[in-house]
Amino acid sequence: MPDALLFPGQGSQTGTMLDELAELESFRRRHDVMSEVIGFDLRARRTSMHANVTGSLMIVLASVVSLDLLREHGALTEPIAGVAGYSVGQWTALYAAGAITYEQLVRIVHRRATLMDECAASSAGGMIAVIGVAEDALETFCAGMRDRGLFVAIANYNAVGQYTLSMEKRAAATVMQELPLLKPMKTIELQAAGPWHCELMRPAGEAFARFLEDEPLKPPSIPVIDNVTGDFFAGETLAEHLFRPVRWSRGIETLAAAGVTRFVETGHGNMLTKFGFFINRNVQHVSFRSLLG
């Protein structure tokens, strides 16, 4: 049964997620290294878990400890057929594939989140989840908003009928007023610290590209899915990732077409497992905890 590991991104964090891991030796070891790299104790900032820096680091820490547990228990089908990460989880996936060290992972994610926050401070905006609307209808809606001078774009292609919009702040009221015309099943204003994965983040992406010049990557030892293309990773899009949408459903289908039959969500929550049910029901979608016994 070829396995692929999936690493969650922001939106999966909770205030107690680190408490659930705190007694593990792996957590203490990983947390100590993270604290040394970033210069503060992440657990002391749990009350600000929706802030980009805090949330990103919490998610990455939980995912790395979850991967440690899978390895310690010998719970994976070897060799791993591929890895994918949602948004900031792209970097956890690259770590799992041996492209970067754990110290690099922490350093890169911290800088990435900081640059995104700085950009969001000058390009204020937000995100809305839209469920039950066809992709082409939502694309047309966003294009119409942009034609009216209001920036709105699809930021996350999660599954069929499940998308996330990013928008500038002044567009939010109009979007929420007019989205019901598309008859969505549900719309949810997200607790995002900024309008991620859209053109509003281009300045952050350009600054991130300069930062990455001093963070060399090794060739991944296992296939990695590229969030930007939904295809296998070739290394050119890591900075663009900040201002281009996440093609999550396409990435899952790429792995399934390559022979993956079980997708293991490795980290806190079950967001990716839920998406998987709507992407491809011919393969298994499970939490890493179900493999630990």
Question: pLDDT tier at 43 (50, 70, 90 boundaries)?
Answer: confident
List domains and CATH numbers for the chain. Answer: 3-121+200-291 (3.40.366.10), 125-192 (3.30.70.250)
Q: What angle do CA 181, 184, 185 make, to 5 degrees?
A: 145
Q: Give Cα separations from 164 to 2, 53, 80, 204, 246 (angstroms).
A: 30, 20, 30, 20, 10
User: Can you tell me the distance from the alpha carbon of 234 to that of 238, in angstroms, rounded to the nearest whole number?
Assistant: 10
More confident: 233 or 79: 233
Could you read off the pLDDT of 131-146 as tens digits, one per residue?
999 999 999 999 999 9
Picking from 271, 257, 267, the residue whose alpha carbon sits closest to that of residue 280 is 257
Q: What pLDDT score was predicted for residue 20?
A: 80
Q: What pLDDT score was predicted for residue 10?
A: 83
92-119: average pLDDT: 97
Q: What angle do CA 60, 61, 65 make, to 5 degrees?
A: 115
Q: What pLDDT score was predicted for residue 78?
A: 78
Residue 182: how many other CB atoms lie within 10 Å:
15
Q: Is 79 helix (H, G, I), strand (E, B) or coil?
A: coil
Q: What pLDDT score was predicted for residue 86?
A: 98
Question: pLDDT tier at 47 (50, 70, 90 boundaries)?
Answer: low
Could you read off the pLDDT of 48-71 as tens digits, one per residue?
666 789 899 999 999 999 999 999
Could you read off the pLDDT of 79-104 as tens digits, one per residue?
899 999 999 999 999 999 999 999 99
Give the pair of three-digit tokens for residue 227.
Answer: 């969030």
Q: What pLDDT score was predicted for residue 48?
A: 64
For residues 286 and 265, is the Cβ–Cβ distance under 8 A? yes
Q: Average pLDDT of the chain?
A: 94
Q: What pLDDT score was predicted for residue 211?
A: 98
Question: pLDDT tier at 22 (50, 70, 90 boundaries)?
Answer: confident
